[in-house]
Structure 1
Amino acid sequence: MEWTPAGWDTHAARMADATVRSESRWHRPLATVPRHLFVPRWWAPAEQDGTWVYELRDGADDPDAWMSSAYDKSLSVITRVGPHHADHAAPAAVVPEAWPTSSATLPALVVKMYQHAFLTDTSRLMVTCGSGYSTALACRRLGEARVTSVDVDPYLIQAAWDRLTTAGHRPQLEVCDVTGELPGVYDRIVSTVSVPAVPASWLTALAPGGRMVTALSGTGLLIVADKTADGGATGKVAPEPAAFMTTRHGDDYPPTPDNADLWATARKADGESVTTGRFPVMRVRRTWDVRSTLELTVPGIEHCMETAADGTRTAYMLHPDGSWARATAPGARQAPTVHQGGPRRLWDELDRIRTWLVIDGDLPISGAAVRVDPDGACHFSRSGWSATISAR
């Protein structure tokens, strides 16, 4: 059994009190599951010489930091970056910034997703595994016999099994690609990884009237949908934004396309269009409604923002079709000069969405109805607006 610090249950109880009301059925799981057990080592983002990296943290070396990180209701603890799992890293290891590939999802969001799933005492649940913490919460709430947890990574499944058994739980754990065939039939599917579109296999694996809760890649959208008689599902966009690591099919995400030439163009070129933007430069990736609406309108845009020492802000947008935009303003509140090139005017699309937000006070993606076809295509609609994410 791994070493555990005394008094962890006090931290867990405080986290439970801060997350849900005492009469909630999730209070006891939050207060009694030893989350630190699932994250004995983790990766913490840090800046070194102007570059972002991930530094290894070991709970045994700093129990206070361990308890602080493990029992923060609003913190996802990153356990794997690219192919590098913290369990296997050398002491004081540092890895370059890369996409995280596994974590213990922040407890407040895990519980909110379970609440959206509307679990009953007899629900058969499939949940994604990762560190195993969310699986442990489900076991404490439903009993291990009703919980199946899956992950594409054999090591994550083995590590989760070891830690779950230490915590007193033995659910069904399976190595599988969550976008492919699933190992059973379930009343609820809760995914703490995002998917490009709803996998058709989920609809096959959902029992009649079953419910799914998942996030969609590239957006901040959390959808809740119930299976319908035609084999599809209907539901809504949840009011809470959610962004998760996207599904992967191997040891790491595939290399990103080399777009160095397009970046060079975006940084230097005048482009075919030079205008003054309607609104100040914004960090699109930190929004959820604007980012999600833009992703539904023009899927696949890559965003970057730089702030110079004098306060000048420059935002870049790149699209795989060769479109690009650069917006530069002398400060946070000034209108930018916008250069655009390629087949689309990306900044114009962003300004159109922001104008919509200013006029209406919200965007139609907020609270939109969702219809999922049996093949996994997702259709969104609200107040005459509609958008579709095609089946993959």
Structure 2
Amino acid sequence: MAPDWAEAYEAVPRSRFLPDLMWPHSMATGRNVAVDKRRDPQAWQRYADSDDPIVTQWDDGAHDGQEPGTSFSSSSSMPSLVFSMLADLAVRPGQRVLEIGAGTGWNAGLLAHRLGAANVVTTEVDGAVASAAQEALDRCGLPVEVVHGDGFLGYAKRAPYDRIIATCGLRKVPFAWVEQSSPGGVILVPWGTYYGPGEATSRLVVADDCRSASGPFSRPVAFMRMRSQRFAWPRHDAYVPEGAMDAAATSFTSVTEAELRGTGNFDVIGFALGLRVPAVTHIADRKRDGKRAVWFYGLSDRSWAVVVFRDDRAESKVYQSGPRRLWDEVEAAHKWWVEQGSPDFPRFGLTVDADGERAWLDSPDNPVAAW
């Protein structure tokens, strides 16, 4: 934790923003367990003081009961991640901050302790979550304005902002945030592609004319996506109906499973491939008998591909079909990444303007062009 945030951490504890019933998430097992303050206050406090992410809402509020729901829809992030992002935000006294995604209200409370509640506004798309955050902030004597609304639109009423921070994952950064920023302002956003769930934080600095913002990525992260940008997973049988495998084009590849997938969702390789192969998503089957299939689906048409990795074979068989040869694109993107020296997250960056967003390598003048 940066020393300048230590006082806020002590003065604004996360525990004051958590509900009695919560579901800490184990990063090691990927599982959630219900913890009720009324039944086990010691366990509740232990988790509240931990560095674990904590789910505070399931299924957009439709879930009820102790057991975890189907899909988590609001949470309190790991404190280590919260403070690393606040350090990247680099706020200074007197600055005005817009937060996208109030959640429990803790992040806004930390900012308000440093800057004053009048200099912080936070948006939250879920009405119940917004109300709970406002109550927690008021209870702590930090009356930040919590706006119930779509943060994708920003909040023009209180603009301009010196800092904008998103606490939800995005696949598209709205230009409205650039327009609502001050010259030289900072927009900190977790951003990724639809290729996979991996994201990285990008620190965008707003140009003097407020017509663009640009900056490098820093580290891999994982956030719940902005609700308007949630991913609707494609139906496999809509792409690969009965008999499609027999009619598909086949080939072989020497790219290994480890080279393609890296060490998991936080590995840079999936992030880099997503920059080069647009409008594609992928998923890996469970490994069975030394064999794993990795599927690729086009999001702009019905193109698909699958590569079947086997532990006992040096080469893997590929099937692909449709207007695009998706595996050819992925393989070419992997080759490009290796030829660039296998760049890590900080060598990549993002520029946002009225025309959209462009990823780049090393410099905004060197865009990462699609294959």
TM > 0.5 fold call: yes
**Aligned partners of 2:277 and 2:333 also within 8 Å:** no
Residue pairs, 1:259-274, within 5 angstroms: 259-262=236-239, 268-269=245-246, 271-274=248-251
Q: Within 5 Å, which residues of 2 pair with 1:1-392?
A: 20=1, 24-40=3-19, 41-43=21-23, 56-73=34-51, 75-84=52-61, 89-90=64-65, 92-96=66-70, 98=71, 100-128=72-100, 129-182=102-155, 183-185=157-159, 186-218=161-193, 219-249=198-228, 253=230, 256-262=233-239, 268-269=245-246, 271-280=248-257, 282-283=260-261, 286-320=265-299, 321-331=301-311, 335-363=315-343, 366-374=346-354, 376-382=356-362, 385-387=366-368
**Aligned-pair distance for 1:334?**
5.1
TM-score, length-normalised on structure 1? 0.79
Question: C-alpha separation between the residues in 2 aligned to 1:267 and 1:131?
Answer: 47
SS at match of 1:165: helix
What secondary structure sits across from 2:94 in the alignment? coil
Return the letter of the residue paired with 2:274. E
1:63 maps to a residue whose letter is P
* 1:189 Cα offset (Å): 0.4
CA distance in 1, matches of 2:106, 2:352: 29
| TM-score normalized by the length of structure 2 | 0.83
Partner of 1:127, secondary structure, is strand
Distance 1:352 1:273 in 2: 17
Give me the identity figure in percent: 25
In structure 2, distance between residues paired with 1:72 and 1:333: 44
Q: Is the 8 A contact 2:284 2:295 kept in 1?
A: yes
Residues 102-143 of structure 1: per-residue CA shift (max 9 Å, x gap): 111222222222222220011111112012121121122222
Taking a change above 3 Å as real, the CA distance of residues 317 and 333 of structure 1, as seen in their structure-2 partners, is same
User: RMSD across aligned C-alpha pairs, in angstroms?
Assistant: 3.2
Query: Per-residue CA shift, 1:337-383, capped at 9, x if unaligned?
Result: 22222222323333333333444432376423433224543452436
In 1, are the aligned partners of 2:183 and 2:209 still within 8 Å (CA)?
A: no
* Structure 1 contact 225–234 (Cα < 8 Å) conserved: yes
The 3-state SS of whatever aligns with 2:152 is coil
Q: Secondary structure at the match of 1:286?
A: coil
The 8 Å contact of residues 245 and 319 in structure 2, kept in 1 or not, is answered as: no
Aligned residues: 355
8 Å contact 1:151–1:176 — kept in the other structure?
A: yes
Deviation for aligned residue 1:148 = 0.7
